[in-house]
Structure 1
Amino acid sequence: MDTETFLRRLPKGDLHLHLAGALRPATLVELARKHDVPLRTTDPQHLYNFADFYDFLDVVRAAASCIRDHGDFARVAYECLADAAQAGNLKYAEMFFNPTDYLPAGVPYRTMAEGYAEGIRQAEADLGVTGRLIPSINRELGPDTARQMLDAVLEHRIEQVIGIGMDGAERSGPPEQYAEVYQAAGRAGLRRTAHTCEDNQTLAEAPPANITTTLDALGCDRIDHGYNILGDPAVVRRCAEEDTPFTVCSHTCVPQRLTTRWKTLRTMQRAGLFMVVCTDDPPMYRTDIGTAYVTIARELAQTPAEAAQSALAALDATWLDDTDKRAQRKAFTDEIAALTIALEN
């Protein structure tokens, strides 16, 4: 076995994965035709072309508008997990979906949540890969809309929904605006995370101070992305000391910015930050969880043993309960041991 095969076959978790951004291009075209939704193009080769971050957000929301009924949601979740299991031996995922992306088409929250949950259950039964759901606030729509979303989540509680998140353009909704909503989610027993300090926005638009707010005022226990943290050494030191998980993604930026992203990840590694390798929107950025591990290992000069340790450490950042974490850790450890023997022989 060569090193790349070893990296791709490592058992993995992905804690930063958007369901609407994980649609197979062919599935999106099919769903658009089914529901008579116009797309920019129906050519799968060009369906996910975009100019910048804000254009990308439009593409994701257009994709979401094509997912309408229970069966659609189940199919999208199932295919997302199946693709990741095949491409990179994914074993566990915590997946985002934005309820407000589906509401304009008249889709009730219950339909989307229960549809996604059905796809997750079927993927676990067929493939042995486990998934959980994170309804995500679109920060561009304001705290009143976020509170309405949370009310729907709490009214229709299902076991697969384990927390809330927040995404969208950070400049349009700084985290402090959502403190009350997040505190209400915490009181209801939901875990909390948020996209914070993305490097597709400037330090003025997404400053390191937002990480402090996300941790302290919102009560989050991990950060999605977080790259702009490097603008404030004091915040870096705090997060390194507290072992705050950052769900980082190797490919989720326009191609001309990839080398900058990889340089940032190397700096975060040297600073001692806890990084969890994730994918974000895999087909939209022409990546997958296996490719993410191969890329990170190359760019961070990881040995196979270090990459394996990263896969195990990712379990510490999950929202699994202690019993499930121990079970996953045992399964990961056993599989890694067998892969290590194959690599060395």
Structure 2
Amino acid sequence: MEKADFYDFFRKIPKAELHLHIEAVISFDSINKFYMRKFPGIGKDEAAREIKKLFTYDNLDGFIQAYLQIQEMYESVADFDLIFSDLKDYIVRNGISYVEVFAAPSAFVKKGFDFSAMVESYSRNVRKVKEETGVDVRILIDVSRTFGAENAEKNLQLLLANRIPEIIGIGLGGSESKGPCRDFGAVFEKARDNGLFTVAHAGEDVDAFSIWDAIDILKVSRVGHGVTAFQDEALMKELVRRGIALESCPMSNVFTKRYVKSLSEHPLRKFFDEGIMVTLNTDDPLFFGVELVDEYWNAYSQMGFSAAELKEIVKNSFRASFLDEGRKARFCAAVDEAWG
């Protein structure tokens, strides 16, 4: 298919996205509004130039610092309404039928935001997205490795005290090198004991041992990124045996340049051929300049995937989700119908 035909076709195919940070779906226009509010004397063009400087990182830690700087521009829980509005537009543009997003409360709680008010905003906005698009959004709270295990435990306790149906689990994001998975075993065990699903970023910025820790110590259902699984044949076989899915985000990995510097170097093709349940995701659309249909096009045009293979990856996006088995089957059937 030519690019225009591909985009037209794939926007019509039901898809899920499972590795998406809600704060990074925000649009450039929304950040511009925040920046001009923070610096009321600045002009729109100057604000745009200053914001552009935030996007000059070339590694994961630099990206995280830019991410935190943008979070600093939020002034109240009311600002989350703008994020969810941008999420709704993103869902519609990409033909997404179901999404599980990470929400990272740590920086906001440190700013003095009330967690219960944040949860109320999440719930209200998720319902609004559903009413306006028909799409279910479910939230995974990123307990964050960046601020240490004590902070992660605090985030879990806040979540358990403010349970809502829209929040279905926890994730571990942030600086992988500074917060190894093994430090968070107790937090993840407690989350599972309370009926929460668990996932973790691993093998994004650290070698394959981090993925072993995620699946053996944290006992996660999915691994975010998992790039370094290519280093360990036994690990890849174990991921297949346990049916643990990888939330692959190719452009994010290329952008941070830790293990791959081009799409052609990315191990997604190897993982698929090994039989690992791979899914395609964007991670942080604004920060890496990529949306979900772009990731499918990149896999088709630069990573050697056929359309039929991408159909399997689309279905994997539902199979690897935390939907019940009945809904997974119905979505996969919808993919078959739309494909025809």
- In the superposition, the TM-score normalised over structure 1's length comes to 0.88
Secondary structure, in 3 states, of the residue corresponding to 1:48?
coil
Letter in 1 for 2:299: I
Structure 1 residues not aligned, in runs of 5+: 338-345
Secondary structure, in 3 states, of the residue corresponding to 2:198?
strand
Secondary structure, in 3 states, of the residue corresponding to 2:19?
strand
Q: 1:34 Cα shift?
A: 3.5
Change (3 A) 1:148 1:123: same
Give the whole-Å Cα distance in 2 for the aligned partners of 1:47 and 1:64: 12
Do 1:136 and 1:165's aligned partners in 2 also have CA atoms closer than 8 Å?
yes
Specify the alignment match of 2:314 in structure 1.
311
The count of residues paired between Structure 1 and Structure 2 equals 330
Secondary structure, in 3 states, of the residue corresponding to 1:42?
helix
Specify the alignment match of 1:325 in structure 2.
328
Give the whole-Å Cα distance in 2 for the aligned partners of 1:109 and 1:37: 28
1:17 aligns with 2:25: no
Cα deviations by residue, 1:176-208 (Å, 9 ceiling, x for unpaired): 11000000000000000000010xx3xxxx231
Specify the alignment match of 1:240 in structure 2.
240
Change (3 A) 1:114 1:33: farther
Q: 1:267 Cα shift?
A: 2.4
Q: 1:314 Cα shift?
A: 1.3
Specify the alignment match of 2:207 in structure 1.
207
Choose from 40, 63, 83 the match for 2:90. Answer: 83
Give the whole-Å Cα distance in 2 for the aligned partners of 1:37 and 1:332: 48
Higher relative contact order (CA closer than 8 Å, sequence separation 6+) = 1
1:300 aligns with 2:300: no
Secondary structure, in 3 states, of the residue corresponding to 1:122?
helix
Mapping 1:224-235, distance limit 5 Å? 224-235=224-235
Structure 2 residues not aligned, in runs of 5+: none
Do 1:85 and 1:129's aligned partners in 2 also have CA atoms closer than 8 Å?
no
Q: 1:220 Cα shift?
A: 0.5
1:54 aligns with 2:61: yes
Choose from 129, 133, 145 the match for 2:151. Answer: 145
Give the whole-Å Cα distance in 1 for the aligned partners of 2:41 and 2:242: 47
Change (3 A) 1:68 1:133: farther
Q: 1:35 Cα shift?
A: 5.1
Specify the alignment match of 1:223 in structure 2.
223
Q: 1:63 Cα shift?
A: 1.7
Do 2:202 and 2:224's aligned partners in 1 also have CA atoms closer than 8 Å?
yes
Q: 1:237 Cα shift?
A: 1.4
Do 2:278 and 2:316's aligned partners in 1 also have CA atoms closer than 8 Å?
no
Change (3 A) 1:230 1:63: same
Give the whole-Å Cα distance in 2 for the aligned partners of 1:173 and 1:70: 27
Secondary structure, in 3 states, of the residue corresponding to 2:129?
helix
Change (3 A) 1:227 1:114: same
Do 1:248 and 1:277's aligned partners in 2 also have CA atoms closer than 8 Å?
yes
Moved more, 110-119 or 157-166: 110-119
Secondary structure, in 3 states, of the residue corresponding to 2:70?
helix
Moved more, 59-68 or 155-164: 59-68
Q: 1:46 Cα shift?
A: 5.2
1:291 aligns with 2:294: yes
